[in-house]
Structure 1
Amino acid sequence: MKKWNNEKLVLILLYFSWITSIIATIGSLYFSEIKGFVPCELCWYQRIFMYPVPIILGIATFFKDFSVIKYVLPLSILGNFISLYHYLLQKIPGLIEIKPCHSGVPCNLEYINVFGFITIPLLSFISFTVIVILLSTIYKSYKSI
């Protein structure tokens, strides 16, 4: 009976990581396609790492394939680092000199700034972090199934 509960918990965590990736992808598309915010270079890199995740996790959830972690976790970790760096560029003015965006929208532009700290890169960072935590928990639990 313990094995069934553990497997059920892992499936629920996989499902929540899939839902998180869907929300992040829809949010990204909402900001660009509905609100009309033009993504900067670092936003595009974050999208590159997030957009395949809902598809991969959706298929994995449907087939109860817990081994998908080895594909999605690296994407999420890399996206997490990019979004953290992007957020720091927005909040620490001296950092933008290290990585100036040469054309298009500057990477330190804040389309939204709720409560003085919630920006689009922070939302991306939170999404990637939740996915990394859930997938790491699945990995630890999966080893015991």
Structure 2
Amino acid sequence: MTLATSVNFILSSLTVLAQILVIWLVLSWLFSWPLPKVLRSRATLLAFIVATIATLGSLTYSDILGYEPCKLCWFQRIFMYPQVLILGFAVFGKHKGSRALFDVSFVMAIVGAVIAFYHYLMQNGIVPEGSCAAIGYSASCAQRFVMNFDYITIPLMATSAFLLIIVALRISKKDV
């Protein structure tokens, strides 16, 4: 088993787990099911962990495995990478529990999720590639480096991470 295969399997499995969590949390919210107290009290920490894993996964793909990010990947990175610092400050920093940090992170996650989902639709031919052809050293936005479980690509990994951050912050916001 190569490093790329192992990384792809681990990150794809975490993506499925994130999707299950998002569905469960959204259903809990819609049907007013009680959430475990430990989840409610640690939702911001969950968002921080998700952002950290997503950032490390992204850096592993580009800097260790050599996958060149496309233009849309860079935009997704712009909205994910700062989440580690913002949520880190929200969880561990001097401004622990700051409403402003939650709001900034929440908006960044929404924008990132929209870009990532659009990218996923583009990779699957649902929307046209448009002006996202390869630029210089970057890959084409339509290029798939990963396809696991017959549906998981890197943009779907990002979409799932952003959605889990959004849902976790929504849970946290009740306590701010």
1:65 paired with 2:97, answer yes
- The residue aligned with 2:66 is 36
Q: Which runs of 5+ in 1 are unaligned?
A: none
TM-score of the superposed pair, with normalisation by structure 2: 0.71
- The residue aligned with 1:87 is 120
2:143 pairs with one of 92, 99, 109: 109
**Percent of residue pairs identical:** 35
The 2-side partners of 1:127 and 1:111 are apart by 18
The 1-side partners of 2:172 and 2:98 are apart by 8
The 2-side partners of 1:108 and 1:85 are apart by 11
The 2-side partners of 1:102 and 1:9 are apart by 42
| Runs of 4+ residues deviating >3 angstroms | 8-11
Q: Which runs of 5+ in 2 are unaligned?
A: 1-35
The 1-side partners of 2:67 and 2:134 are apart by 18
Corresponding residue SS for 2:146: coil
Aligned length: 136
Corresponding residue SS for 1:135: helix
| Paired amino acid for 1:33 | D
Corresponding residue SS for 2:172: helix
- The residue aligned with 2:28 is none
Higher helix share: 1
The 2-side partners of 1:47 and 1:94 are apart by 21
1:99 paired with 2:131, answer yes
1:118 paired with 2:148, answer no
1:134 paired with 2:171, answer no
How far does the alpha carbon of each residue in 1:31-76 deviate from its partner, in whole angstroms, 9 at most, with x for none? 0001100000000000000010001111110143241211100100
